[in-house]
Chain A
Amino acid sequence: LALPNVILRDLLKKIEVKDRLRLRLSCRSFEKLVAETNAGFFLVGTITPANYTPYIEDQSLGVISIQFGSAEFKLDSTEDKFDQFVQFRERIFTGISFDVFVITIRNSSIFLNFVRNIIHKFQIKELHIANLETEAQLEWMLQVMADFPTSKYHSTLSFLPETAKLLALPQMEYLEISEFDFQHIPAELFFNLLHLHTNLHLADVVLTSDEWIRAIQILSSDDRLRRVTLWVRGSNVVANQAACGITEATEGGHGGGEIEVVTPHSDSEDMVSFRYRKCKVFIDHFY
């Protein structure tokens, strides 16, 4: 080769994965070099069922889409194809780094094993695992997190796990629990989650007015930038607003105690926002 190996290794960290694939075809030396080098850093990678639509049940596993930067790979969800792809992956780089890596999981043990095999040599700053539906998948997620102990974690659960398992999760940068039926998240569990995780998105949380104010006080006293989204029942919202001194007659700039109403029914008819010390609260979609 015309350039020293150390330079070519550096070069191979600066090119796209698609270019690595083409370089494999250039000559034997480069095919070997591609297999023996790190692919470098990419902003985003994903493993997701192709044509996946959130919240639609009974989607067959079908075709899997894998993205490394701008390169997209598609493969049928069979054990043979998964094995072949793992071997192929080992021929296109030794390792790769991502700012964010998103895994949308499906209810298939073959798929879950495949994902762990594919990503085990990756470096990932933020690991997003979406669409967890069962306790078994939660166990799997914990194993993956153990594989990436220094990453930040984002997770979306479509079921409410057993409380002990839920509270045993490592600290999450973002935890979403939504789309489950006939259950609500009790106040005690909510406050535990609020204490454990930075950003939350929770469905059907039941809070008394005092607990509502306590939650706002906890968030206000936290120096970190945090976002907590709660889906609560309408009657609960009205009572909690009243506890904060906000009624239909409240005008902008006024409120109860340290609460300052910023937007009473302005941009949209069902939106109110108010400020309590460092915490800003938006309430929308209530009737």
Chain B
Amino acid sequence: RIYPLMRVTLTTSDGASVTVSRQLTKHSGFIEKAITDMAVDDNAVPLSAVAVDVDDATLKLVIEWLTEHRDDALPYPEKTDEERRADDIPAWDQAFVQKWDTKEDQQQTLYAVITAADKLDIKGLLDMTCKTLANKINGKTVEEMREILQLECDFTEEELAEIRKENAWCEN
């Protein structure tokens, strides 16, 4: 049973504290487990702090997403094969991610939110941000992919030539 009025204080990795409704935190497998492990009485209002390994700025974005998705069904549905598609991100989520485009470190923000969603076990947010990253990679050149995924080429020219030769099976 989830009591919507219950509130949980989250302490971030950079020392900030944020108090949020349990209605939001129920979407985080990590926070729910932490609360359960505290063995809080059903009728109590748990103000115990749950330490989350996420910085304040990223947690605020996570909470913004959770607020919009507070009524999403739980448990998050298991993904079927068909749901590999990355072009079905809801409009609100698309706008949410596009807001980061104005930030200088847009790529870092996306990575931080993906990592936070993974650590906090928020499946819906993780799925959406992975789709966003997939869309960023889609159709890009190798150099652009390296930039997006923050990769350094460690192949020799001969190794690259060999892989290009293999990839040439694909004519278009």
Contact = CB atoms under 8 A, between A and B. Distances in A.
Contact of B170 (A28, A31, A73): A73
B65 to A, nearest CB: 17
A2 B150 CA distance: 7
A88 B151 contact: no
A13 B153 CA distance: 23
B170 A18 contact: yes
A10 interface: yes
Given A3-B115, A22-B167, 14 more contacts: A3-B149, A10-B130, A14-B86, A14-B130, A16-B138, A16-B139, A23-B142, A23-B145, A27-B151, A40-B81, A71-B172, A72-B171, A74-B171, A85-B169
A3 B155 contact: no
Q: How large is the interface on B (under 10, 10 to 19, 20 to 34, 35 or more residues)?
A: 35 or more
B76 to A, nearest CB: 13
Interface in A1-48: 1-4, 6-7, 10-11, 13-19, 21-31, 40-41
Interface in B138-167: 138-142, 145-146, 149-155, 160, 163-164, 166-167
Contacts, number: 107
A59 B119 CA distance: 57
A15 B87 CA distance: 11
A27 B137 contact: no
B105 to A, nearest CB: 13
A72 B172 CA distance: 7
Contact of B137 (A1, A15, A28): A15
Chain A interface SS verdict (over half)? mixed
Contacts of A72: 170-172
A4 B115 CA distance: 8
A77 B81 CA distance: 32
Nearest to B107: A2
A4 B118 contact: yes
Contact of A15 (B134, B155, B170): B134
Interface in B112-142: 114-115, 118, 126-127, 130-131, 133-134, 137-142
State the 6 A-B residue pairs at the shortest beta-carbon distance, nearest first. A40-B84, A14-B134, A41-B81, A2-B150, A41-B84, A73-B169
Contacts of B152: 27
B111 interface: yes
Contacts of A88: 166, 169
A40 B134 CA distance: 13
A19 B146 CA distance: 12
Interface string B52-90: 000000000000000000000000000001111110000
A75 interface: yes
